[in-house]
Amino acid sequence: MPLTNRRLFTNEFNQLLLSEPDSPPIVVIPVRAFALSEPERLIALVDTQGHERAFIADLADLAADDAALIRHTLTERELVPEILRIDKVLSFSTPSQWRVTTNRGASELTLKSEDDIRRFHDGLLITDTHGLPYRIPTLSTLDRHSRRLLARFL
């Protein structure tokens, strides 16, 4: 169901609410169908029981305020740090330890093997030994030093 005749807003607990005509507002959670390959498209708004209440084909089709609320809620909900820079690789043989700077601060991660680095579109998804994902949306966003270190694993 599209968002026609509905309104999105947040309450005092920063929960996303969907207001429908002739019914009280309900708490909804945005869920991406393809979080890595299509982050702005195919988003379902589900209630606390997991039932779909609305479907968004593309965030660009929504009013700017509604799209911003959904993006904010998704950012708060999802924890996939984006690697901005690879500061140092302590070992080029696996398991290897990396020191990186992410959009959430400095971090250290350990890779069991080169298989922990997977390509998607023009970016990478890197999974550390604890199963935590890190992403590099596009290789061109990395500085030269980071690309050189990464090239040894690709």
Give tens-digit pLDDT for 116-141.
999 887 789 999 998 889 989 888 88
Dihedral in degrees, nearest 10, Cα atoms 41, 44, 45, 51: 180
Q: Are 133 and 127 in contact (CB under 8 A)?
A: yes
Higher pLDDT, 146 or 154: 146
Residues near 105 by beta carbon (within 8 Å), at least 6 away in sequence:
none
**Among candidates 64, 49, 44, 48, which has minimal Cα distance to 15?**
48
| Residues 39, 123: Cα–Cα separation, whole Å | 13
pLDDT tens figures, 77-112: 777 889 999 999 998 888 899 999 998 899 999 999
